[in-house]
Structure formats: C-alpha cells, structure tokens
Chain A
Amino acid sequence: MRVEVFKDTDFEQGWTDSAVPNMSFNYDQASIEDCEYSDGVYWATYEPMVLTESHTFTYLTPTGREAITVPPGIYGVKS
C-alpha cells in the first residue's frame, strides 16, 4: 500500500492495530529521503497483514500468556 508521508513523519515508531496487539507495522522506507516524491508529495509504502483464515496468536503480557483468535481480514492498515 502507498501512503503520504511528511518531513516530520517518525519512520522508526510505526503504528499498531488494536485487533492484533502483539504486532506492529512500519513503512518499507527508513526515512523520507527513501520515499518517492511526485507532485509535491512524498509517498511511502508498507505491507499490511493479510489473513485468509482465522489465526490464533499466543503472546506474552507482563502477567502471562494471552491468546487471541483473529478472523480473516486485512490488518495494520495505516489510518
């Protein structure tokens, strides 16, 4: 996917999706200098998570294991 980014975009921080709390997402580019520039706009790309069937993740919290079953869908879409 392609998304507009700006000179103050934090490329290190990335973003999360509450539906998959054990995952994070980030741009394919490390800085705005790596991004495509056209018509006065910088464009970054990223790959969302595509689940074609439900998937169970067992991840750790400070107090122990947490299991979630995530239904099919596209996750990590940059809002």
Chain B
Amino acid sequence: MASISGQNTSNIDQVDGFFTTQGGGATAAPVVTNGTQLGQVSEAWFNTAITPDFFRSPTTTHKFVKLASLHDFGQYIGIKANGELWYYANVSTYAQGMFTTLNAWTQYGTDTDWTDVTGGQICWGFIKGGNFHFMGYGGWRMRGDGGTGSPIYPELISSAETWEEVSMSNQTTCIRNTSGEMFFAGYNYDYGTGQGTTSGQTATFTQEQNSLTGVTYHTAGYRRCIMVKGGSIYTTGNNQNLMAGPLVSTNADINGPIITYSGTDITKVSSFGDDATLAITTGGQIRFAGSGGQSPRPDNSTANQQGTTGQSNEAFSILTGAGSGWTYIGGGKTSQGTNYGFGIQNGQAKIGGTYSSGIGAVMGGVATSQWKQIGSTSNFVALNLSGATTDEIHCAFSTS
C-alpha cells in the first residue's frame, strides 16, 4: 500500500501537514478542543497533493491569542500569549522570506514582542514592540511609507509613533497609536481613509481629518473604518446599507470620521462586509445596524435595522435574541461580495453569514447561512475567517 512519512495513505490525516476531505459535519471528526485547527472551502492551497473542495486540518497543540489569515491564500499567522509569532502556510506567495517551512506551524524568529497581526489583500500588518511592520503586496499603498515594494518578510515600516493596533481591509490600512489617534493608508475610495477626499491613495500614513483622540478600538471594513471612542461609534467611508448607525439618515458615503452612534456602551465593533455593523456592548450583548439579508444577525433574524431612532428594530438597537456573553466579534467580505461574521460568546465559537455555510460543515457544524456554533467546547479565545472568491474561505480556531 502506498505510504507517506510512514503512514499508509488511508491514514493520511496522521501525517503532519496533510489534510483530509471533510465534506459534512455528520462524518467529520470532532473540532479542536485543546489547541488550534484550520479549515478551508474550495481550491487546493492547503495541500496540493490532493484536490478536494473541503479541508480541515488536524489539531495542533499550539494555542494563540490572536489569529489572522489572508483573503487569498491558505496562510495563517498567530500570536501566542507570550508574544511569539507563528505561521502556517501551504504556499509562500508574497511571503517567501517568512514562510520558509510549509504545512506545519512554525515560529518566526525568537522575538516575544509581537502584539498584533492583521491580514489584508495579499498583505499583512504587524505591531511589534510598538512599531508597524508590513509584509506582502505593496501596490495598494497599504504599507504607509509611500513605497510600493512587496517585502517577503515583516519589514519595519513605521517607528515614528508607538502603535497599538492595526486593521486592514482589502485596500486600506487603519492604524491606531497609544493615544488613540488614527492614521490611514491606501485607497481613498468613499472617504474610507478619513482624508476628506475620494480620489487617489493615501501613500504615507496620514491622520484622519478630524484628529480624534481616545479611540480605544477600531476595525477596517470595505471602504470604511469604524472606531470606538468613549463607548460611541465613529465612522468614515461607505454607508451604502445604512450600517453606520442611527445618527446618519442617508446612504451616502460619510466624509468622516464622524459620530454615528452616540451611546456610551460599545467596547468592540466589527464590519460584516459592506452590509452591516456589529458591536459588543459593556454588557456583552450585540448591537446591529444595516441590511439583514446576508444573515449578519447572531439572533438569526434577517430583518434590516436601518432606522434613525436607535430604538427597538432601528439601527443599533440590541439584538436581545443573540443573548449575552459576547467577548469578540469579527467579519469580512469576499472579493465577490458575499459577507460573513464570526465571534466568541461565553467561550463558544460562532460563525454566520451567507458564505459561512460551507465552512460550517467543514468545521463540524451545520451547513446553513445562519449563525452556528463550531465545536462543542466553551474555551475558544481566538478565531478568524477570511474570504477570497465566493468559492473560497479560510478559518482558524484556537482554544485556551
């Protein structure tokens, strides 16, 4: 019988770096309960030795407090609680200097001062020791230093500020310093970089035009950035589905950042693509604004909340049916326009949205666009989904 690394091919799951076909939850092995597991729908980036549509990795015992993945490839980067940086990649495209080992979790260097990582469109952003590093395709002007080069390892770009958090969408980088000031780089589409213009690209990191301070959380979305300041939400950029909040009554692009929700109870916020905004309150509940058609709502209603009163069933009212205990929320948009979300509620991993059905099945859950639990344990601390085309999405889950 044919064998690989001492395992016959019927036991291919047991070979480090190899993945099996997992087309349905009913027959899938249990999702990770003590470590990290990856999954992917479509294409063969994970393992070019086989060509199924669905992949789920074996469990590794490595555990991460932050996980990021690319929109485009089977590439993952995680930060451990001790500040170490690790990666898992099936291909080294645009990162050949970092991803020198394929198909196995591998530490990058020995430094222990990595604090943040984010994945953009074939590029990555990092915070290390308060400095910003960039890796990958530089043509989108997301580097923030005016250059267009494409470094194949995390290259130091900016040490002019002490950086705290970075978030990338497909063509913008949004970065915050320790004073809560926001700087942007990338395409100015729809006022998404907060520069008061929709033309050209912000080539070097430039502070948004209203000089906010005290921003405590932010996330990049499709041609927009959402910021939390004093528990309120500030937005700049695209608002085509009235997802910015109750203080904005039209779907015109927002020449911001301006305050779009004036409550004081928001701790974290997420962009569900260009459809919706999800936010976690101080009480661990979910507020929602935007279009409900692509199942962004963790209460599994598909109703819109686009009104301007902020009261029940209007923009940013609480989704009581989604319960409480939410500690993390994320979301994104595939390059073909389908949106997805993910979060952690009472330690349980949850995903939802139009294109989460297939990946839900891959990870042992239910094949539905509605929000569903992944795995059965309540010890998840990090997860990430990223979409590429409508036929491809990646995910990563890590427990405590």
Contacts and interface: CB of A to CB of B under 8 A. Distances in A.
Contact of A25 (B145, B161, B200): B200
Contact of B203 (A24, A63, A64): A24
* Tier of interface size on chain A: 20 to 34
A49 B160 contact: no
Contacts of A12: 139, 148
Interface of B: 139, 141, 144-146, 148, 158, 160-161, 183, 188, 195-207, 209, 211
A23 B201 contact: yes
Contacts, number: 70
B200 A24 contact: yes
A1 B75 CA distance: 39
A13 interface: yes
A59 B207 CA distance: 6
B200 A26 contact: yes
Q: Is the interface of B mostly helix, strand, loop or mixed?
A: loop
Contacts of A9: none
A64 B199 contact: no
Nearest to A59: B206
A13 to B, nearest CB: 7
Given A12-B139, A58-B206, A65-B160, A49 B144 contact: no
Given A64-B160, A65-B160, A58 B207 contact: yes
Nearest to A74: B199
Contacts of A57: 195, 206-207
Interface in A20-68: 21-26, 47-51, 55-65
Given A60-B158, A65-B160, A49 B200 contact: yes
A47 B207 CA distance: 22
A48 B160 CA distance: 29
Contact of B199 (A16, A22, A50, A59): A50
B181 to A, nearest CB: 9
Contacts of A56: 209
B339 to A, nearest CB: 24
Given A24-B146, A64-B160, A59 B201 contact: no
Contact of B204 (A51, A60, A63): A60
B160 A62 contact: yes
Contacts of A26: 200-201
Nearest to B196: A55
Contact of A16 (B160, B197, B203, B206): B203
Contacts of B196: 55
A59 B158 CA distance: 12
A58 B205 CA distance: 9
Contacts of B145: 62
Contacts of A59: 204-207
Contacts of B200: 23-26, 47-49, 76
A59 B200 CA distance: 15
A25 B207 contact: no
A63 to B, nearest CB: 7
A14 interface: yes
Contacts of B205: 59-60
Contacts of A76: 199-200
Contact of A60 (B148, B160, B188, B195): B160
Q: Which 4 A-B pairs have the closest CB atoms?
A: A47-B199, A24-B203, A59-B206, A58-B207
Given A48-B200, A58-B211, A60-B204, 6 more contacts: A22-B146, A22-B203, A24-B201, A25-B199, A25-B201, A76-B199
A13 B199 contact: no
A14 B158 contact: no
Nearest to B159: A62
With most chain A CB atoms within 10 A of its CB, the pick from B141, B158, B197 is B197
B41 to A, nearest CB: 27
Contacts of A61: 160, 204
A47 B141 CA distance: 17
A26 B207 CA distance: 21
A15 to B, nearest CB: 10
With most chain B CB atoms within 10 A of its CB, the pick from A21, A48, A61 is A61
A60 B188 CA distance: 17
A23 B202 contact: yes
A16 B202 CA distance: 11
B161 A60 contact: yes
